[in-house]
Amino acid sequence: MSDNPSATLTASTTFEPVRASDIQLAQARISSVIEPTPLQYCPRLSEETGVEVYLKREDLQDVRSYKIRGAYYAIANLSDEQRAAGIVAASAGNHAQGVAYACRTMGIPGRIYVPVQTPKQKRDRIVVHGGDMVELVVTGNNFDEAAEAARADSAERGATMIEPFDARDTVIGQGTVAAEILTQLTSIGKSLDTVFVPVGGGGLLAGVASYLADMAPRTAIVGVEPAGAASLQAALHADGPVTLEAVDAFVDGAAVKRIGELPYRIVERNLGRIHVMDVSEGAVCTEMLDLYQNEGIIAEPAGALSVTGLKEMNLQPDSVVVCIISGGNNDVLRYAEIMERSLVHRGLKHYFLVNFPQEPGQLRHFLNDILGPDDDITLFEYLKRNNRETGAALVGLELGRASDFDPLVERMNASRIDCRHLMPGTPEYEYLVNT
């Protein structure tokens, strides 16, 4: 490693593969600070999928995320000169907590940049973990903008940038998750058939793939991205990392516009054993709620990506599968939105623009003759406040069953009342529902 204090710890121009021996060395170095997380058998998911499902509980780390592994290992490798110059980091929230923890533990001053969409819960935890050794800067509309500001600061002050995923030491540190998984399965006489890995910038996937390539080459790896930020798939289609025009920031821990260069190279060299997929944000919300209600696991959106991917794959019956629950930093204030997105995903929540004819009794007709016995009105708002019983209204309905939707639409079409279904993802839906 360079002794230049202004060095940025990123992927080098010359590709150097990450080996299992590198990861084992990192595991030995961080083991005095970072204890192994549980690998828990999940009866519910095993019964639902027909495979033997284990959950790797990285949400139980001190900082509630696997990110502490790569952050701590990268910072532990800094020279005395680099430590004295201080460090800079950018993060959607979880990497920042790992950096903050390491700064306070090692007595290194740090400045951490997070985007404005980072949940308050994550911001507060960064401050707690970093104490007086860390300064928190909130800037940019997404991770990439925050990272740009952090790199500019690093260059100006001569501080070392600790990258969240696109750096060799970071990837090596994240790979210790895979090392623990194999050790834990071996201790109970099991071997790993498939592992589901959440994907944002690609650091965890790269670390897991690197370790398994040497130690369990027959293991299948499934990388799961959010549909609104599928930067790895975009890179694979373009034969190299590309920058997405926009991302859905809901899965904040994986809302990255551009996959890391080093993770991409590692994934590219392991495509024979890696399958990459994306899942909708609504499906992620459904799995978050199921994990909470059934297993008592408070997973953040990125933390539920692996389980969401599991539900959408057909696997060999009775095979041994591990899903990495990558983080549990979820703000309780987000649960209303999580429930809403889940209901929409499951076909239970719908919005309509209802234009009532200019005659009395139409609202009563809508309630009595169009709505089904199990349909609940969750929102009713006239678009013009001086219209009552006539004019257009925004109506939100929660159905008892998804199968009730087609009969509801048939009754609407047979009525003189004009009802227009608002489709998620359209400008009209986003404007009327989210404003």
Q: Residue type for 177, please?
A: V
As a whole number of angstroms, the distance between CA 428 and CA 281 comes to 19
Closest CA relative to residue 301, chosen from 313, 316, 276, 283? 283
Give the CA distances from residue 312 to residues 56, 300, 338, 340, in Å, rounded to whole numbers and listed in that order: 19, 19, 20, 21
Structure tokens at 299: 């997973």
Give the CA distances from residue 46 to residues 55, 222, 311, 390, 398, in Å, rounded to whole numbers and listed in that order: 11, 17, 11, 53, 30
Closest CA relative to residue 103, chosen from 123, 132, 79? 132
Helical segments of 158-230, H only: 168-174, 176-187, 203-215
Catalytic residues: 67, 326
Q: Residue 33 burial by CB count (10 A; 0-12/13-18/19+): exposed, middle or buried?
A: middle
Provide the 10 A C-beta neighbour count for residue 100: 27
Closest CA relative to residue 89, chosen from 58, 117, 106, 113? 113
Q: Contact 255/230 with Cβ under 8 angstroms?
A: no
Q: Which 3 state secondary structure label does DSSP give 404?
A: helix
**Which long-range contacts does 381-386 make (Cβ < 8 Å, 24+ apart)?**
none
Task: State the residue for tokens 């994907």.
Answer: 199
As a whole number of angstroms, the distance between CA 252 and CA 100 comes to 19
Structure tokens at 63: 């900082």
Q: Residue type for 435, please?
A: T
Contacts (Cβ under 8 Å, ≥6 apart) of 176: 23, 26, 27, 30, 34, 69, 73, 207
